[in-house]
Structure 1
Amino acid sequence: MGEQLPFDQFAQEYDEWFTDHQLIFRSELNAVRAFIPRTGKGVDIGSGTGRFVLPLHVAHAIDPSFPALKIAKSRGVSVVSAVAEALPFRSSGFDYAVMVTSICFFYDAKQALIEARRVLKYSGNLIIGFIDRDSFLGKLYERKRFTSRFYRHAHFYTANELISILRATGFGYFEYKQTIFDLADAEYPVLDGFGKGGFVVVNTRKTGTKKSAALFDIHRPGQ
């Protein structure tokens, strides 16, 4: 993930956003929850202060920011300090992985997705919640990015850009949910698809045969 100094310095301020905007948070949470498997072991990649981890019942969480992880740990979250581009887990160890508003901060999103695929079991799910750059909300964040202490180093993706990267890194079978349809601080419905909501969730699966999936996992970049 790129420069983490803002999250190290202002982790508490970042965390308080969720308290101050509980209806927006609940809307995002409901959209992500729609794709969380009822059973199986999961990992939250880029968990921050752990706001999504407990309500989604995700077993493990990783983030490079120690102050953010300290807050997450105080909530009872099982945390590991690590970056998304080099996950400290064995291959094929998780049934699903979650990334919520974190992929925009990854230093190398493609490598992070390759790593997510590696740690997923055959046909495991990857659930990504993100601000769609093509949406009204994405355009607002883009305009404010250079004056924001948190988002000045963020790279926002359109839904189609993210889908293209996911296909290139060995994922398929896509499903979509969307929520947050205007700037009002309110709880929004969760709808299928993308193109209207500012917050989009992509649910995808690790593809390939078991044999080809194993070969893909073995040959990691730089090896």
Structure 2
Amino acid sequence: MTVVSPFESAAEYDDWFETHEGAYRAERAALERAVPDRFDRALEIGVGTGRFAAPLGISVGIDPAENPLERARNRGIESIRGIAESLPVGDETIDLAAFVTVFSFVDDLAATLAEAGRVLTDDGTLVVAVLDRSSPVGQLYQEHKDESPFYADATFLTGDEACAELEAAGFAVEQRLQTVFDDPAEISVADSNSASNDAGPDVREGHGDGLFAVIRATPSDTNR
């Protein structure tokens, strides 16, 4: 995971979530549906500033960029500098591992998934979120990615491609979810606030329509 320098701008990264709070709440809701109800030792790989780890109850985060880790620590995350392809974590010690849009930035996805399989317990859970290139908003992201300081070097996957990579690495896909069906700038807090919308954020099964695609998977013997 060597795409680091844009994400050293921790304040700019956090500002995106502040100005797109409706989309952020929808993304968080999709992840919350995928995360198991109970877990002990949890790890987010590519934790950034801890925007997702903290509300999901993930206590440990790894990231190659130092400045975001300072913000993650302030959010109560045990923050470690490291890369996805070589995790400084023992074998079969993690109950829940999460990647939030990180697949777009790793150098070696196969090595990344092998490491995730190594650190997960036999009954552990892997939760992955990708920005789905096949969705209508994802197509716009792909078209304009060179204009973004964060996405210029990103390789966007589709939800189906991410599932195929997981299965090739020996994971069994258990759940597919999606959200963010419109331009994130146009999703209001009211649209994603369960206090004003009994249905809560718009999170649907499947992939292909929503920008933010979430997958829950479990390891198999081939990961060992």
Could you state the TM-score of these two structures normalised by the residue count of structure 1? 0.90
After superposition, where does 1:51-200 map in structure 2 within 5 Å? 51-183=51-183, 184-186=186-188, 187=192, 188-200=201-213
Correspondence for 1:220: none
| Unaligned 5+ runs, structure 2 | 193-200
Distance apart, 1:123 and its partner CA:
3.0
Distance apart, 1:5 and its partner CA:
1.1
Secondary structure in structure 1 of the residue aligned to 2:151: coil
Give the AA of the match of 1:161. Answer: E
Please list every run of at least 4 consecutive aligned residues from structure 1 whose deviation after the TM superposition is greater than 3 angstroms: none
C-alpha distance in 2 between matches for 1:72 and 1:191: 29
Correspondence for 1:221: none
Could you state the TM-score of these two structures normalised by the residue count of structure 2? 0.90
Distance apart, 1:174 and its partner CA:
2.6
Q: CA RMSD in A?
A: 1.3
Secondary structure in structure 2 of the residue aligned to 1:49: coil
Correspondence for 1:16: 15
Distance apart, 1:6 and its partner CA:
1.1
Q: Structure 1, residues 154-205: CA drift from partner, whole Å, max 9, x if none?
A: 1110112111111111101431111111122233411111121111100011
Contact 2:2 2:64 in 1 (8 A): no
Which of structures 1 and 2 has the larger relative contact order (alpha carbons within 8 angstroms, sep 6+)?
2
| Unaligned 5+ runs, structure 1 | 218-223
Give the AA of the match of 1:199. Answer: F
Distance apart, 1:134 and its partner CA:
0.4
* Aligned pairs, number: 210
Identity %: 36
Distance apart, 1:20 and its partner CA:
1.2
Correspondence for 1:39: 38
Correspondence for 1:204: 217
C-alpha distance in 1 between matches for 2:216 and 2:3: 27
